[in-house]
Structure 1
């Protein structure tokens, strides 16, 4: 009965932070709730901690969830969103501005989370409680604050560092440099790593662990190009012996497996108040869904063939049967014309799933199969309790491999990290190198291409591709020009034009600072990013 107590409490606390109970909120404003009613006992501290976790999934910040599952893929070369002209696709097309409400909301959400973290950290020393538990709670909240700042850093560069709850006037601070923000993130993560346990007991499933903090540190360092440090942090996760690859790539995302050993950090969704809409958004129209994220032809073309080579180099690729002989993860991730789902063929052509047939029909003709749960019922899709995986062990292996490749420290451990993922995809042991395209050699440049492609397919539609092409500085090539979908006709060669995109490297690598923030703080204090004036 104790297994999900921690997550259950989040479900109970969630209405306290979002419900329209005027009397309660008038007496106890969210950011003052802790100061007036909490901070006397360990139970108060724990309830406050739950409130901080809930900021990543509550109603005030719902656009963060939408952006992660629907927006981030559409801001990359892997997909577009099903709804033409919406803000997800506008950002992907390069249509942004300082006055755009959506990027302002993405900025504001993170600072709301940061404020909640700061309230907690300002008050956590007050209760009479076990000091070890107190320090562990601090570590969890510092992780959550670091994650919010990491998003801000990736999208805006240097931003104001706020470490305490501030009034409106006190918020008038200039931007810190990107290097200062990076150092602040790493400081929070290092402090979390020192105090967090390697595991929690089952009743606290979903709480942040040492492995999660190390894995996030590895990601942050990788994005910063600090290769040796990134490899060291990733190796530390590997050496813990706590996390490993789940046996099945496809089943990894099933709700029944949400707390499996591969997951390091996930946004928790449990109970009626905290279910999410992933199944409704992602299923295709002929199953009763909204068509959500539509993979692009460019992504399909980039998936390797079973001999480990791209389609334009592979001897097993047949242009008349382009979906055959592909990496198995392709079939677990994409619905394409003629593919099957639960034993039923999805024709796409001549069907409601064909582009333009309905408002929820894919723009590209492809649909995302990844994340679709076996418990979803056709034409009766409902919110379900799936978690949103933010960080998993597969990424740690890829971080380790990429960091070692970039630092020039290429050895067998690099090949092993990539081969573990490929072997899992093919359903064989890593030692069975005749049954999957094992990596056994290569120059730095060749291995760089391999690991980048491996990230593309292994982590597809999980919200990381956009950050990858930004940090690799390849977005100006991949996000500039036309993008395409399936052939217009079933046996045709000309592909559907999905949309035109524009990416100017002189300013598109960073978002504009929201104009409202500049107006509030003052243009002499809050400087705009280059090119957005």
Structure 2
């Protein structure tokens, strides 16, 4: 009965995810055909429709992996995000306090869900090997779909590597494989290979989809390569030559941004509204659809305290909030109108990025239509600024990439030079790194930046609030003080014990 239940649950979720993807298209697939037939059937594909539905199945697995905050649980280790001091948030607190157990179910569920997505991708790639097409339009579709699968597999390897460092690299659909942990350089090279294959087969704009690349284009793949190279240049491999590759990749995306419809939004706050969940700043989007039964469960109610009917899961760090420069970007990042210092539950700031602007998401909603902007064009610009500086090849365009973000942070037009904001001297690499700190606060990225630059101890050793007082005049405390090591030995999340029990070869 259990096996039947799980299979039926997967079929239902797959159908719903199929509808989500279809809703992002103007037209694409025959909805009278059961998508789960092609997704679950073994053996080679015999027609293009089976390949199309197989790729839909990979997206279904991705949505199963990403719809909850579990997907980003390690980000609670950053100095920008914290969680509740009690309640049922113990597994988030483990990251927050740098004391993560191998029994942490968030880690285990994330590992299982990501590898399920990877196995689905491997199955599609294997089944496609027997699909021989003759119609030029079908061959073109086949090439695009296979490139998309390489993209999804590469991104899943990358996402898991940012969490665990060394990981197994299954690239064939063999459920009985007992792979050990690949060397870090091999992990990066596999991700690079997948993303390069994706870039070569994807179009400038994926046909028939909404803004924000809810299905990736060639620019999406090149942007993820830029992020990969930036990590590759940092801890633990520290191959400084990769800064040149990161800058070059980001510059390619910038130079071809018009072809991909990538740009910054004029108003940063628009990014966090339901109305703009599809937008041109998103370089790759993971879409959700509440009415289809595939909601996003990371936003809304989860970011509020019980004072506001919240589930008190994703809060903002007090010290980070205190240090955050005043201006339009801070107002777009936090709900500054709230009297958060006197919440009776837990006095911590509230991310507008998580709960939405006033009245955009009802206080009772914990499942929303909000999309995940897995990578934004703002990050491409800041990768270019930082990587060009660290590679020793600063150009006027490098400064402009930084200044575009600085202007918008002040509520100014991002593409009009402004001497009151623009900078053209100083340590560009550090200026760009700091700009990332503020620009991506609450977006589950800060921890990865601290790791690659080996600045965990610097950032987390002093999180004590400095100026925030409650109505009694008492200085607010740090809710979740550090308990574990801040050294490099504790940068990556332990592999789940359950996985080690099943495959002892991954016990390093």
Settle same-fold status: TM greater than 0.5.
yes
SS in 2 for 1:250: helix
Task: Provide the residue aligned with 1:282 in structure 2.
Answer: 303
- Distance in 2, Cα, partners of 1:9 & 1:197: 26
Task: Provide the residue aligned with 2:407 in structure 1.
Answer: 423
Task: Provide the residue aligned with 2:370 in structure 1.
Answer: 386
* 2:350 counterpart of 1:367: yes
Task: Provide the residue aligned with 1:457 in structure 2.
Answer: 438
* 2:95 counterpart of 1:91: yes
Contact 1:279 1:376 in 2 (8 A): no
* 2:90 counterpart of 1:82: no
Q: Is 251-260 or 133-142 further displaced after alignment?
A: 251-260
Contact 1:415 1:440 in 2 (8 A): yes
- Distance in 2, Cα, partners of 1:381 & 1:104: 27
Q: 1:8 to 1:213 in 2, by over 3 A?
A: farther
* 2:287 counterpart of 1:259: no
* 2:222 counterpart of 1:214: yes
Measured after TM superposition, the shift of residue 483 of structure 1 is: 4.2
Measured after TM superposition, the shift of residue 44 of structure 1 is: 1.8
Q: Is 80-89 or 155-164 further displaced after alignment?
A: 80-89
- Distance in 2, Cα, partners of 1:493 & 1:405: 43
* Cα displacement string for residues 398-435 of structure 1 (whole angstroms, at most 9, x for unaligned residues): 1101101111212211210011112122232343424x
Contact 2:79 2:459 in 1 (8 A): yes
* 2:496 counterpart of 1:518: no
SS in 2 for 1:224: helix
- Distance in 1, Cα, partners of 2:38 & 2:108: 21
SS in 2 for 1:140: helix
Q: Which runs of 5+ in 1 are unaligned?
A: 1-6, 15-27, 305-325, 341-345, 529-533
- Distance in 2, Cα, partners of 1:149 & 1:44: 25
* 2:113 counterpart of 1:104: no
- Distance in 2, Cα, partners of 1:396 & 1:433: 21
- Distance in 2, Cα, partners of 1:161 & 1:397: 30
* Cα displacement string for residues 451-470 of structure 1 (whole angstroms, at most 9, x for unaligned residues): 12110111111111010001
SS in 2 for 1:496: coil
Q: Is 138-147 or 504-513 further displaced after alignment?
A: 504-513
Measured after TM superposition, the shift of residue 107 of structure 1 is: 2.1
- Distance in 1, Cα, partners of 2:318 & 2:311: 20
Task: Provide the residue aligned with 1:35 in structure 2.
Answer: 42
- Distance in 2, Cα, partners of 1:259 & 1:13: 13
Contact 1:405 1:447 in 2 (8 A): yes
Task: Provide the residue aligned with 2:264 in structure 1.
Answer: 245
Q: 1:447 to 1:198 in 2, by over 3 A?
A: same
* Cα displacement string for residues 260-310 of structure 1 (whole angstroms, at most 9, x for unaligned residues): 111111111023311223122124545433343211122123323xxxxxx
Contact 1:136 1:196 in 2 (8 A): yes
Measured after TM superposition, the shift of residue 55 of structure 1 is: 1.3
User: Which has the larger share of strand?
Assistant: 1
Q: 1:292 to 1:504 in 2, by over 3 A?
A: closer
Task: Provide the residue aligned with 2:237 in structure 1.
Answer: none
SS in 2 for 1:415: helix
Figure out how many residues of one structure are paired with residues of the other and give that number: 458
* 2:479 counterpart of 1:479: no
Task: Provide the residue aligned with 1:311 in structure 2.
Answer: none
Q: Which runs of 5+ in 2 are unaligned?
A: 1-13, 22-34, 234-241
Q: 1:349 to 1:180 in 2, by over 3 A?
A: closer
Measured after TM superposition, the shift of residue 349 of structure 1 is: 5.0
TM-score for the superposition, normalised by structure 2: 0.83
Q: Is 507-516 or 43-52 further displaced after alignment?
A: 507-516
- Distance in 2, Cα, partners of 1:413 & 1:493: 47
SS in 1 for 2:98: coil
Q: 1:483 to 1:114 in 2, by over 3 A?
A: farther
Residue pairs, 1:313-352, within 5 angstroms: 326-335=326-335, 339-340=336-337, 346-350=338-342
Q: Is 243-252 or 482-491 further displaced after alignment?
A: 482-491
User: Which has the larger share of helix?
Assistant: 2
Contact 1:364 1:484 in 2 (8 A): no
TM-score for the superposition, normalised by structure 1: 0.79
* 2:189 counterpart of 1:183: yes
Task: Provide the residue aligned with 1:200 in structure 2.
Answer: 206
